[in-house]
Structures are given as structure tokens and as C-alpha cells.
Structure 1
């Protein structure tokens, strides 16, 4: 039986032959080598690879945080490549959510105010039913009036997760979201992300170096030397670790023998 290919409606974000080059001449660094990838709506995708593989660069290009040297990037049906600064700001505000390793909470605001800040900046009123659903899902009901310094690291990251989800973006990009957390707090945040996909149909794209974190995803995309070299569906931590070990060999082979091509 022929597999059903995803349609444009099913794709939350995609890169088409994306190159990212820094510098020029002898100082030139090619961070992404013609990457093409489609990220399906309503799925949890992890992006992994050795240090310097281009995983964070790819995420930043997909999210409109960085420009591409060549190729095209889309979020939903919106073409990100070539947008003006104002249009990029609107796109990041309306269609994209972000979760970072450092939480990025404002210390003078309460947890509730931090969660609602993107909506306030956009001049949008929160959907109170949805807000209540998000708050109960992340377990922050009794912490809404606390400021970040009164919260643990795990609680601060759950505030950041709620902030990303409350605006109902098309896709949430998470860059090492558990990197500053202990294993228990990290598991709580990953479970929340997993549940937001399962229960609410959210789309999550997460960069991580942690095989255990990647095991929460539906799909893992592996990069080496700026190229997509492998992927894994329904991953286990053990399977991810095994692929990462193989990537060390692949990265060395690419570095030794690949032809970069003209950009």
C-alpha cells in the first residue's frame, strides 16, 4: 500500500534547499549545506547532531531569527525568506512561540504577567478558558503571583512553556529547554511539551543534545556538518544514542571528503 504523503496543510514549517554561510574567503564557514526538511503539524520533532552540526542555526532560520544565504523557509503558508523586519516581527509574534534554555523571564513581573506578556505586547486579550487550561496543564495555579526569583528553575521553565503556548502559535521552537534543569524538572517540562502535542495538537520543534530528551519526540532529525544525514521515528533514548555515535563517524567523513559547492 502506498504511504500518504503530507500535504502543505499538514506542514507547520519547512526549509527548502537552505544554505547559511558566515564570513567569506578563507574565513568562510558553511553552517548549513542545502538543507531541505518538512516539519509536520501536530508533531514533536527533535533536531540533534554533534557540536557545530548546524542544529541551532537551522532552528533559528526556521523561526525567522536568522536569515538564510540561499533557499527558502516557510512557517505554515507564510514565506519567511525576504520578509521585512516589521513583517518578521509580526510573524514571530503571531505564528511562532519560543522556549529558550535561559527562560528569559522579566524579573519584575509575576508568573502570570510573564505568561501574558506576548499577548499584551500584541494588544490581544487572552482567551481565559484556554489560559486556565494551559495553567492547569503546567501545574502553576498556585504560583501565578510569584516572581521568577521565587520560583525554582523547573517552575520558571514551565512559565516559559506556558508563555509560548498561551498565544496558540502555529509552531513552538525550543532551544535546549532542559539544559539548565535537573533531571526531575527536565522530565516535567518534557512531559508538558509531549502532552501539549498529544492533547492540544501543538507543533513542537526542539534542539537538544540529550538522547533522553529526544526520546519524548515523535521524530528525531540528525544533522552532521550542516547536512541532514538521518532521522528516527518513535525514538528511544538508546536508539538515539546509537545514531549519535554513528554521526561522529559520518561527520568526519563529510569533513574529509565532501565538496561544498558554490553558494
Structure 2
């Protein structure tokens, strides 16, 4: 059994933000010898608690791999991943499954709703499976935050794409996870529905204190975040705080231009 590893706290700065997750010298490689491909190349990153972090980069930069490793969905070749003070690298499968279920929320591009269940049943399903009763006050607040109060008895086929993704967002929030990971969560939505969902994610950070990490290729989606991390060739090469869509787009153009000239 792997025990929790205590990370030394930074003291004396007063204003330092607590860290929800961190990677230390993380390497992820596929294959061996000449066919070896390095997806993550000694990555160090801290994910601030109670903030919305976006991860961006060109196709093949390692952004989804980084998210999957931070979330315990993929193993690392080297280095350590911590969720709060627990080192998750090296946890046995059963412990890792339990940790993901109890402490992490997920929102994917595909809504992953069960068609035979209505909205509220889909929202509480992970807790039902785990044998946990939802906190009724919290659940009501989540439902109100994502604007689903009048749609709870509807099945997925009776909901628009945007409403279905809002159900998925509520499902991720309902169990009060320490951190939520989103992989292109608005990728299947039109711009209006996408803006709705991103607005709810933003509100969940501002009003519910949630921590969110989102992989996206969309500068508009990234502009909802507090901080944008840029990956290229498996490394974090830049970051931006308080991003705007225009600033993110300009930065992405810079990377594209560098890629063509290198």
C-alpha cells in the first residue's frame, strides 16, 4: 500500500495560493529505442486551488497527455504526480480508481450520459454507484448554478447538446471533487451552447470554489480561465494570466510562426 506523501508547505509569503495538484519532472514516453516518442519531457507544474487553468498547444504537444497524467487516467514513465499531498504515481489500480471516484471530477467532449436515466439520475449516478448520499443543499446549489432546475426530469434525448453538457458539468460538480478535469468540454457544442457551459464552469470556480483544469484549442474557451499554460514538444513553454481571446490567439500565432521557422 502506498502512503500519502507530505509535501513541504511554502511559508512566509502569505499570499501564495494553495496547490490542488502538481507534476514534478514528469516524463511520458511511448515505445523504445528508435521508435521512442516523448510526449512529456520533464514537466514541472503547479495547479492552483480554486482557479480555472487552461492547457493549450498545437496537436501533438502533449496537452491531453499532461491532463490524463495529472488526473491519474494515464501512467507516467518518470517523475511524480501529486493530488494535494497524495502522490498518485505508484498507487495500485484499486486505490487509484477509488481516488479518481472520490476526489476527481471529469467532463469530456462526449457527454457520456445514460439515455435511460433522467438528468438528476445522471447527475447523482457516480455517487449512487459509490453508495454515497448526495448533500442535498450542495446538489441544489449546483443545479441552480448550471441552470437545470426545470430540466431535471428530462432524459438526454429531450435535452439540447448544451443542456446535456450542463448535466455532465453538474455530475462532475455534484460529488464536490477536489479538482475537475475537462478535455475539450465544449468541442461538440455550437458557440452559443459552448459559451453557456464555459460560463457555468467559470461560475463554479467563482461561486463554488471549484478547481478546474481544461484542455482546449479554442482561444475563446481559454479566455474564461484564470491562467493558460502553453505546451510545445512535451514541455511547458509559456503561461498567461488573466487571458483574453485576442491575447491567446496572438500567442498561438507566435508559436505557429516559430514552428514553421524552426
Instruction: Give the counterpart of 2:98 among 64, 67, 90.
Output: 90
Q: Which runs of 5+ in 1 are unaligned?
A: 257-263
> What is the TM-score normalised by the length of structure 1?
0.92
Instruction: Give the counterpart of 1:6 among 10, 16, 20.
Output: 16
Q: Which runs of 5+ in 2 are unaligned?
A: 1-11
Deviation for aligned residue 1:249: 3.9
Matched, 1:122 2:113: no
Q: Counterparts of 1:37 and 1:252 in 2: how far apart (Å)?
A: 27
Q: Please give the residue correspondences for 1:101-112 in structure 2 after superposition, counting only pairs within 5 Å.
A: 101-112=109-120
- Which residue matches 2:6? none
User: Is the 1:154–1:186 Cα contact (8 Å) retained in structure 2?
Assistant: yes
Change (3 A) 1:229 1:3: farther
**Deviations 1:9-34 (Å, cap 9, x if unpaired)?**
x1011100000001112221100000
Matched, 1:135 2:148: no
User: Is the 1:224–1:251 Cα contact (8 Å) retained in structure 2?
Assistant: no
Instruction: Give the counterpart of 1:239 among 228, 244, 247.
Output: 247
Q: Counterparts of 2:64 and 2:259 in 1: how far apart (Å)?
A: 16
**Deviations 1:64-92 (Å, cap 9, x if unpaired)?**
00000000001111111000000101110
Deviation for aligned residue 1:61: 0.1
User: Is the 1:225–1:251 Cα contact (8 Å) retained in structure 2?
Assistant: no
Change (3 A) 1:112 1:172: same
User: Is the 1:93–1:118 Cα contact (8 Å) retained in structure 2?
Assistant: yes
RMSD between aligned residues: 1.5
**Deviations 1:111-161 (Å, cap 9, x if unpaired)?**
111100111111100111111111111111111111111111000000000
- Which residue matches 1:260? none
Q: Which is richer in helix?
A: 1
User: Is the 1:6–1:40 Cα contact (8 Å) retained in structure 2?
Assistant: no
> What is the TM-score normalised by the length of structure 2?
0.93
Q: Secondary structure in 2 aligned to 1:223?
A: strand
Change (3 A) 1:65 1:251: farther
Q: Work out the number of aligned pairs and report it.
A: 251
Instruction: Give the counterpart of 2:73 among 49, 59, 65.
Output: 65
- Which residue matches 2:173? 165
Q: Secondary structure in 1 aligned to 2:58?
A: coil
